[in-house]
Chains A and B, each alone.
Chain A
Amino acid sequence: MAIEVMKVGIVSCSGEDLPEGTLSRIACRKVLEDLRPGETVTICLPLFIAGGKEERDFATNYPTITVDGCDKRCAQISTERLSGKPSKSLLIPEILQKRGLASPTRRRNLGPKEKAAAQAVAEEIAQAVDEVLGG
């Protein structure tokens, strides 16, 4: 029997030390609040370690999209190791390159260029959500 997928879990790299981490968080919030509300949920990545079984079951309970800010791919690796295999894994530098956008330079107080980049990343995540929900 086919199981209807209702929501997609998004795991964002929080990358506190990198501008791309800020971009990732803001883009994910845009998806959750504006672009795909009701179709997406998220989790704080370190809860895979600090939380309990419920948090570690996140990728079992939801098809998951990971969004990483650098090629260390913390979100993808930690989800694979501690929760379950993601349905899709996105990398912000690849998205920015594909869209011809510059890498962000600020970790906070984002300017117009960084906000435009965050919107572009959010749109890519939303598209990935649609692909996962569409099977």
Chain B
Amino acid sequence: METHNKQEMQDKKVVVLACSGIGKVYGAVARETVYELVERLRPGTAVTTCLPLLVIGDPDAKKLVTDHPVITIDGCPKSCSEKSVKALGAKVTKSYQAINFYKAHKELKPGGIAELDEAGRKLAAVAAEELAPVIDDLASGEDK
């Protein structure tokens, strides 16, 4: 049984969703932060999906956000990623606004929309470093 529980913990995934922001720099920061978590900092534990799949009610995407803790990172106050999860009846465990990472690190003013500049990439890396422990807590079931 103990082995089973350990395996369950190892298999626990945390979904991190970025807003789809195609028109604002903080949408790009949100997306880059998600990629930092999924690809560099917590691969295998942090997973993502396409937000538009939630918009069309794709069954696999819906199951993903229903079965796992969800962190949303939005690029503007319209909070598309948070609202898209809630619209499916799923729970958002933690929600963040990308601009708040900039407010905490004003030396890193991001630029670029489709592709971030160097400051934007650094800001996303810093944001992801700050979120990685949150993912660890959620994956271990300590903060659901």
A residues in contact (CB < 8 Å) with B: 12-18, 21, 25-26, 28-30, 42-51, 72, 74-75, 77-78, 81-82, 107-108, 110
Contact = CB atoms under 8 A, between A and B. Distances in A.
B53 interface: yes
A13 B78 CA distance: 18
B102 interface: no
A18 B114 CA distance: 15
A45 B23 contact: no
B58 A72 contact: yes
Given A16-B48, A74-B55, A47 B18 contact: no
A18 B20 contact: no
B115 A110 contact: yes
Interface of B: 17-23, 27, 31-32, 34-35, 39, 48-56, 58, 78-81, 83-84, 87, 113-115
Nearest to B32: A108
Contacts, number: 99
A14 B78 CA distance: 16
16 contacts: A12-B22, A14-B20, A14-B52, A16-B17, A26-B114, A29-B113, A46-B55, A48-B55, A50-B78, A50-B80, A72-B56, A74-B52, A74-B53, A82-B55, A107-B35, A108-B35
B114 A14 contact: no
A44 B27 contact: yes
A75 B23 CA distance: 16
Given A14-B50, A44-B21, A108-B32, 10 more contacts: A14-B22, A16-B49, A26-B115, A44-B80, A45-B22, A46-B51, A47-B78, A50-B84, A74-B56, A108-B35
